Amino acid sequence: MHAALRRVDHRPWPLPQRRWTWRQSWCDLLFAHWPVPVGVLRPLVPEPLRIDVRDGAAWVGVVPFRMEGVMLRRLPDLPWVSAFPELNVRTYVEFGGQPGIWFFSLDATNPLAVWAARRFFSLPYHRADIDVAHRDPEVRYAARRRSGDARFQAIYRPESAPCESRPGTIEHFLTERYCLYALRRDGRLMRADVHHAPWPLQSAAADIQTNTMAFPGRPILQGAAPLLHFARRMDVIVWTPREVESPSR
């Protein structure tokens, strides 16, 4: 049994009946979140999806981390393929009673992972050069997208012991999401289920020196200081995406 399946009672809906297809682990994550007016994001999110609101605002997350153990079910890890750094920019949405994640962009160093995620998950992945260094307890992270001038540079660290978030809290709203949504080129809206244990979140501190990965050329995240959390590791399983509804219907 995969480590992610040791706990299932916290899920907002039952596990899918079909077999999961991918496994991966997420390591040394910084969750940096900013409140953003819903009207700013509405043109950037497909209309069938409802943008989730908390404290009167939508939320945009910038999440740098490292991937490990990325592979199809039952296949072994492969050198230069199964481990690489990644950064995603996201917001939180709901469709058909299932809250999930909408990704504005994802950046990774691994060309095969970028191709596979675009091909099989319809996700907006980009090739990037990313350097990650650890000076315990700090993580030093620097990313630059290979096309354009999208960059992220930060030093971050945890500042508390791990703790599971409680339902109803902002931490729970931002992190306890068990599916992602994506739009295929033909206009079909897809949903991919994921499963993992509850997040072992820690409060965090971060010196974010550069942050143009989120909406390059648009000052959407300027102003308020971000809400920061850290997580050391999460083991995850993922199901193949399924169509939920065409936006054109």
* Burial class for 69, CB neighbours closer than 10 Å (0-12, 13-18, 19+): middle
In this structure, which amino acid lies at residue 128? A
Output the pLDDT for position 247.
Answer: 46
Output the pLDDT for position 149.
Answer: 86
- All structural domains of the chain, each given as residue ranges with its CATH number in brackets, are 3-245 (2.40.400.10)
Averaged pLDDT, 113-132: 96
Averaged pLDDT, 55-71: 97
Q: State the DSSP code for 112.
A: H
**Residue 37's CB: how many other CB atoms inside 10 A?**
12
Distance separating alpha carbons of residues 111 and 127, to the nearest angstrom: 7
Q: State the DSSP code for 54.
A: B
Question: Is residue 248 scored above 50 in pLDDT?
Answer: no
Question: Is residue 245 scored above 80 in pLDDT?
Answer: no
CB 178 within 8 A of CB 224: no
CB 203 within 8 A of CB 228: yes
> For the ranges 92-101, 121-130, 162-171, 215-224, which has the lowest average pLDDT?
215-224
Instruction: Supply 232's token pair.
Output: 């050391």
In whole numbers, what is the pLDDT of the chain averaged over residues? 94
| 17-35 residue pLDDT tens | 999 999 999 999 999 999 9
Averaged pLDDT, 103-119: 95
Averaged pLDDT, 150-173: 97
| 183-222 residue pLDDT tens | 999 999 999 999 999 999 999 999 999 999 988 878 788 7
137 band by pLDDT with thresholds 50, 70 and 90 = very high
